[in-house]
Structure 1
Amino acid sequence: MPDELQVTGLGWALTIGVVLALFALDLVVGTVRPHHVGFREATAWSVFYIAVALAFGVVFGSVYGWTWGTEYFAGYIVEKSLSVDNLFVFVIIMATFAVPDEHQQKVLTFGILIALVLRAIFIALGATLLSLFSFMFLLFGLLLIWTAVQLFRHRDEDPDVEDNALVKATRRVLPVTDDYVGGKLLTHADGRRVVTPLFIVLIAIGSTDLLFALDSIPAVFGVTEEAFIVFAANAFALLGLRALFFLVKGLLDRLVYLSAGLALILAFIGVKLVLHWAHGIWPAVPEIETPFSLGFILVVLVVTTVASLIKVRRDPTATAHAGNVRARRPREERPAGDR
């Protein structure tokens, strides 16, 4: 096996071209004809995007070898499972701002675009840091372990969108209309330029995507060090989010153990990164191989899903939460300006 994955410029260009074409398709579907997305349509698009991601993995593995192919599938599954937690937060944001059904597709599509741009920046930065400084594996590993501990401690909480600093600052600086004005981001009112609540929603989703990128990029680098695989796994996992949102938003409340399962996955990958760093200094330290990582992640996701469904069946009042990395202050304890 070569020490590094050798992807040609043509390979990069074709992959980015496919991603951009799929995003353009998503953009057309989500913004040109705003409408309520039913279960059948959401299912069809979800199956399509998953099939495309799997087909890419098969072609990639056949061309470059199944060692790299296994890393791609492991990275894709990690990012797809973390993206479900993204969906939790998207649901919370949509409900908090009462986004009409016909405008939710636009919000999700632009939210995915923001996520793709942010992740591309973080991937380039992460790959550079890892190539220059081996101790970054240790820092990334410790970051994931800390995130896992915090997520598990606050697994029964949800992020507070109203407590988002960027959202609060935007509301203080920019005038905001009371309604969605036909799904526009900007409009005119009383002779001046103002923003609509949809603009604030995009700010909330964009800042949330930034926080998720801080966790998901180190997580996938824990599976593979190859920037191309990291990019491809992220891109194909994110492209299906719009359809997946409408498919599972009614089922998310049932995944009561999802946050605990994701915390376990993040902790596992964090330990894997720490061991990888230690192995480079002390060769006697064992490393966790990618096939084992892939199997572990799949087992955790299956057990988490089955246990969640059993829990909800026994206790219909049980409700899932997105989890949070810091404790939420009760409303009455917050400064008056934060309410």
Structure 2
Amino acid sequence: MHTIGTPGLWLAFSLLVVIALVIDFAVMRAGGAHKVSYKEAAIWSIAWIVLAMLFNLGLWYWLGQRGDPALANETALQFLTGYVVEKALAIDNIFVFLLIFTRFGVSAELQQRALMVGILGAIVLRAILIFIGAALISRYHWILYLFGAFLVYTGIQMVRAPNDETDFDSNPMLRWMRSHLRLTNEYHGTSLSVMKEGVRYFTPMFLVIMLLAVTDVIFAVDSIPAIFAITEDPFIVLSSNVFAVLGLRALYFLIAGMSERFHLLNYGLAAVLVFIGTKMLIVDVWKVPIGLSLGMVAVLIGGSLVASRLIPPAEANR
């Protein structure tokens, strides 16, 4: 398995992520439970994007200093493309997160903590999936074709059922937790469990956090194969994935209230999946340049956002 990830590079990346999370937790705790404003969400979104770009710049510089400018340029472009793809596909997660919070009546003040803990779980689960995927691809090249076909199919399904509702009550994990765990009917602040007469009960917040993490991993089944179409290097796949997920909490508060404004976004995301899936299917015939991939993703997502503003929802649904 070819990778630029040396032990030192993996250590540096891990330390940077841990430090960023500690700072994020500290700021969140200092601010207490509160409704996140649009301005606060915008500042944090920009901060996470800047951190990702600084990491990419440092990666580019480090590789260039090792005497391989071509590899440095290609790797930096791969990271940027992977980051943009994961960030774009993460928008779909946000709309489902909004459904979860609405379904379980999570107040705006408690949503921030729920997202933070849920994202931590998602990072761990995504890392496991990425390493499994990288190991399989390095051994069985034909799996790329399965990934490609799956992405094309998923993109087509998104177009055929763009407004498909999620039925949480039929979720197997939720049904298992309700039948095997002692649960309270009311929230106890941000607590995941409470003691009642010497018996531990789990709160609705615990259910919400578990659903957030598992929902993100379900969506990762789409997004992780998509980034393997850009690069098979597990270090680039994981680092771009993690940086995209780290900013998910801020991105949620930034655009959660704007879902109706971008009613055609699902079509743009579907087109991205079909494009990337097709790219994987023709990888042995023509390897699509990274720059072209980045441009296509930007055009498809940007085009769906612009179209959402130009075409009213009533006309789009005719």
Is the shorter-chain TM-score for this pair beyond 0.5, marking a shared fold?
Answer: yes
Alpha-carbon distance, 1:274 to partner: 1.3
Alpha-carbon distance, 1:287 to partner: 2.3
Tell me which residue corresponds to 1:152.
159
Does residue 198 of the first structure (1) align with residue 205 of the second (2)?
A: yes
Q: Identity, % of aligned pairs?
A: 37
Alpha-carbon distance, 1:160 to partner: 2.0
Alpha-carbon distance, 1:117 to partner: 0.4
> What letter matches 1:20 in structure 2?
V
Tell me which residue corresponds to 2:297.
297
* Cα distance change on mapping 1:295 and 1:127 into 2, 3 Å: same
Q: Which moved more, 1:228-237 or 1:190-199?
A: 190-199
Does residue 42 of the first structure (1) align with residue 41 of the second (2)?
A: yes
- Note the 1:148-187 alignment, pairs <5 A: 148-187=155-194
Question: How many pairs are equivalent?
Answer: 308
State how far apart, in whole Å, the 1-side matches of 2:78 and 2:182 are: 47
Tell me which residue corresponds to 1:228.
235
Tell me which residue corresponds to 1:334.
none
Does residue 274 of the first structure (1) align with residue 300 of the second (2)?
A: no
Match of 2:23 among 11, 22, 25: 25
Alpha-carbon distance, 1:37 to partner: 1.1
State how far apart, in whole Å, the 2-side matches of 1:156 and 1:203 are: 24
1:138 is paired with a residue of what secondary structure?
A: helix
Tell me which residue corresponds to 2:114.
107
**Could you tell me the TM-score, scaled by structure 2's length?**
0.92
Tell me which residue corresponds to 1:56.
55
* Cα distance change on mapping 1:133 and 1:116 into 2, 3 Å: same
Tell whether the 8 Å contact from 1:61 to 1:70 is kept in structure 2 after alignment.
no
Tell whether the 8 Å contact from 2:77 to 2:291 is kept in structure 1 after alignment.
yes
Alpha-carbon distance, 1:7 to partner: 3.0
- Note the 1:239-278 alignment, pairs <5 A: 239-276=246-283
Alpha-carbon distance, 1:190 to partner: 4.6
> What letter matches 2:287 in structure 1?
E
Give unpaired runs (5+ residues) of structure 2. 64-71
Tell me which residue corresponds to 1:306.
306
RMSD: 1.8
State how far apart, in whole Å, the 2-side matches of 1:246 and 1:317 are: 28
Alpha-carbon distance, 1:151 to partner: 1.7
Tell whether the 8 Å contact from 1:219 to 1:266 is kept in structure 2 after alignment.
yes
> What letter matches 2:300 in structure 1?
V
Deviations 1:226-253 (A, max 9, x none): 1111011101101111111111111122
State how far apart, in whole Å, the 1-side matches of 2:38 and 2:139 are: 47
Deviations 1:212-271 (A, max 9, x none): 121111111111111111011101101111111111111122111111111111111111
Alpha-carbon distance, 1:191 to partner: 4.2
Tell whether the 8 Å contact from 2:118 to 2:210 is kept in structure 1 after alignment.
no
**Could you tell me the TM-score, scaled by structure 1's length?**
0.86
> What letter matches 2:278 in structure 1?
V
